[in-house]
Structure 1
């Protein structure tokens, strides 16, 4: 019997913490900080990219089955909820068996981080009742420029086609629309803006610690300031740059300006961040 399993054979869901957020949103540094806490075990030594649990299991498809980075949220099949036929005690146990070899299961909380958790939190909650979800949100232009850097060619070696900056921002909008739709169904959801975390790491990590019921503070020394500066400078240069650069910026502003403002973000000034009260919360 696994340490995560009750006498009845049902997985004890309240032990699980899931971290989600689009690629280049800051989920990795947050997950690493959490895993340094003595009460939290993160997946480590797995040999897969960023020790993400999605690559270690065969219960649900990885995001590459839905178009991959910058595309997956547009595929309705990526949005898993409590209504999925994959929700079962057997599949919950299969996930635990896939992840347990890479956890220190003597710790109270067990952490799994994968970008797709952003759009499948309700599914994970159904598999592991009582589990917590922490979502990291980063400015859509910054996250999209950072992701675009990973795929600069029209067609990559693996056959993946380039996704334009306006389309990457559009994917950001769709993914976070799904999060807004899902929020009322969550019981333990915390949405954390990357910019707020960088501005005041101790305060925001204190919120995370409270959300998870940790008995001591999280370390705040792994949050690096200035990581968004180069992308802010790139965006500003696009204002008066080449005709193509100006056109790309204009497309983003015209298509997505209103949608991103819902999250307290501005396309005029990427460093301006609105009140945190606008962020979605779990059901009362």
Structure 2
């Protein structure tokens, strides 16, 4: 029986590079050449609604209906089989680990665990300023609202992960700074080797520069930036980040209840 792995993380958090890295293992099959944006599994199935039904990037976590948990009426044996059939078109049946990744997974872990009790979850976060500014072009949403969305989604995740049996959490920042360490931890978590070329690059700097430069105020007036820091700094600190100190980021952690 294959291990089913869900990659969880907001848009522009590093899920794509992580997915491609895992899929480079001889034992792991991910999605590729699906014809769908970023090969996201949410768009390759017919059981549950994709994030665009709830506003899309930078908005979906605000809609309570976008969250799915173990109480969803979508949890049926029939829907489990439909997902495996629809996603299975893109997995290599000969490989022992199958990976799916989509941004809404971050707030749907309990739903997937109920459907697939033996599922593994790999969660990745990235600094809220980088995620917000990178998502801006898609969402057409003010930066302060995007930061609030980042916090909202991660608060749901933080609460939900308490009920998840097998999950490993890492930050984009740690992945690009210490890829050997992070990949080794994931190898131990999944029980397989993951060969990779260390070509990870940290692109946070350009977003931090934009945040600090005057031209950023076309997106966010100075008063709104100051207000954002006042409103959200403590909340962001809860996740190991800071809107004032860009060098802070959380460390990898393993959540294994079984």
Superposed counterparts of 1:207-226, under 5 Å: 207-214=185-192, 216-225=193-202
Cα displacement string for residues 102-159 of structure 1 (whole angstroms, at most 9, x for unaligned residues): 11111000111111111101111111111101111000111101111335xxxxxxxx
1:99 CA displacement: 1.0
Specify the alignment match of 1:21 in structure 2.
9
Alpha-carbon separation, structure 2, partners of 1:244 and 1:30: 31
Query: Does residue 125 of structure 1 match 2:113?
Result: yes
For structure 1, the residue ranges without an aligned partner over 5 or more in a row are 1-11, 152-161
For structure 2, the residue ranges without an aligned partner over 5 or more in a row are none
Aligned length: 258
Q: Could you tell me which of 200, 207, 210 is aligned with 1:234?
A: 210
Specify the alignment match of 1:37 in structure 2.
25
Specify the alignment match of 1:156 in structure 2.
none
Q: Normalized against structure 2, the TM-score is what?
A: 0.93
Describe the shift of the 1:32–1:248 C-alpha distance in structure 2 as closer, same or farther (beyond 3 A): same
Query: Does residue 188 of structure 1 match 2:166?
Result: yes
Superposed counterparts of 1:40-119, under 5 Å: 40-119=28-107
Alpha-carbon separation, structure 2, partners of 1:167 and 1:39: 40
Specify the alignment match of 1:263 in structure 2.
239
Alpha-carbon separation, structure 2, partners of 1:86 and 1:117: 15
Specify the alignment match of 1:281 in structure 2.
255
Moved over 6 A (4+): 239-243
Describe the shift of the 1:205–1:148 C-alpha distance in structure 2 as closer, same or farther (beyond 3 A): same
Query: Equivalent residue of 2:89, what SS?
Result: helix
Cα displacement string for residues 45-89 of structure 1 (whole angstroms, at most 9, x for unaligned residues): 211111111101110000111111111111111111111111112
Counterpart contact for 1:52–1:114, Cα < 8 Å:
yes
Alpha-carbon separation, structure 2, partners of 1:95 and 1:242: 43
Specify the alignment match of 1:9 in structure 2.
none
Query: Does residue 150 of structure 1 match 2:127?
Result: no
Query: Equivalent residue of 2:124, what SS?
Result: strand
1:282 CA displacement: 4.7
Superposed counterparts of 1:154-193, under 5 Å: 162-193=140-171
Alpha-carbon separation, structure 2, partners of 1:238 and 1:270: 18
CA RMSD after TM alignment: 2.1
1:220 CA displacement: 4.3
Describe the shift of the 1:243–1:98 C-alpha distance in structure 2 as closer, same or farther (beyond 3 A): closer
Counterpart contact for 1:239–1:245, Cα < 8 Å:
no
Counterpart contact for 2:143–2:220, Cα < 8 Å:
no
- 232-241 vs 186-195, greater mean Cα deviation: 232-241
